[in-house]
Chain A
Amino acid sequence: MTKMSARNMFIVATVVVSAVFLYLTYLSHMSFAARTHSENITAQVEHGKKVWERHACIDCHTLLGEGAYYAPELGNVIERRGEPFVRTVLETAAVQGWGTTRKMPQFDLSKEDIDSLVEFFKWMNEVDTNNWPPNIEG
Chain B
Amino acid sequence: MKYQFESQRVSYPYFVAAMALFAAQILFGLIIGAQYIWPDLLFPAIPFNIGRMIHINLLVVWLIFGFMGSAYYLLPEEVEGEIYSTKLAMLQFWLFLVGGATAIVGYLFRWHDGREFLEQPTIIKAAIVVVVLMFIFNMIMTMIKGRRTTSITVVLLTGFLGLAVFYLFAFYKPANMTVDKYYWWWVVHLWVEGVWELIMAAFLSFLLIKLTGIDREVAEKWLYVIVGLTFLTGVIGTGHHYYWIGTPAFWQTWGAWFSAIEILPFAAMVAFSFKMIGKRSRQHPNRAAVLWTVGAAVLSFIGAGIWGFMHTLPQINFYTHGTQITASHGHLAFFGAYAVIVLAMISYAVPNLRKSTPGITRQKMEIFSFWTMAVSMIFIALALTGAGIVQVYLQRVLAMSYMDTQSYMKIFYVIRLFFGVTFAIGLIAYLYDFFTGNRSKQRHFGA
Contacts and interface: CB of A to CB of B under 8 A. Distances in A.
A binds B: yes
B235 A18 contact: yes
A88 interface: no
Contacts of A46: 175
B436 interface: no
Nearest to A35: B246
A65 B114 CA distance: 16
Interface in B353-410: 395-397, 399-404, 406-407, 410
B53 A24 contact: no
Interface string A5-46: 011011001100110110011011001100110100100011
B387 to A, nearest CB: 9
Given A10-B224, A133-B396, A135-B399, A65 B246 contact: no
A129 B403 contact: no
Contacts of B180: 49
Given A28-B182, A59-B53, A53 B115 contact: yes
A117 to B, nearest CB: 12
A73 interface: yes
Interface residues of A, number: 69
B181 A66 contact: yes
A86 interface: no
A70 B399 CA distance: 18
Nearest to A33: B176
B309 interface: no
Contacts, number: 214
B173 to A, nearest CB: 8
Given A10-B224, A17-B231, A24-B254, A100 B406 contact: yes
Contacts of B319: 134
Interface stretch (B14-22, B35-43, B294-302): B35-43
Interface of A: 1-3, 6-7, 9-10, 13-14, 17-18, 20-21, 24-25, 27-28, 31-32, 35-36, 38, 41, 45-46, 49, 52-60, 62-73, 94, 97-103, 105-106, 124, 127-130, 132-138
Given A94-B44, A137-B401, 10 more contacts: A3-B217, A3-B221, A20-B236, A46-B175, A56-B50, A66-B241, A70-B36, A71-B48, A97-B39, A100-B406
Interface of B: 32, 35-36, 39-40, 43-44, 47-50, 52-53, 112-116, 119, 151, 175-182, 217, 220-222, 224-225, 227-228, 231-232, 235-236, 238-239, 241-252, 254, 258, 318-319, 321-324, 326-327, 395-397, 399-404, 406-407, 410
18 contacts: A3-B221, A9-B228, A20-B236, A27-B248, A32-B179, A32-B246, A49-B177, A56-B112, A59-B49, A64-B181, A65-B245, A65-B321, A66-B322, A69-B324, A73-B322, A103-B40, A106-B44, A137-B402
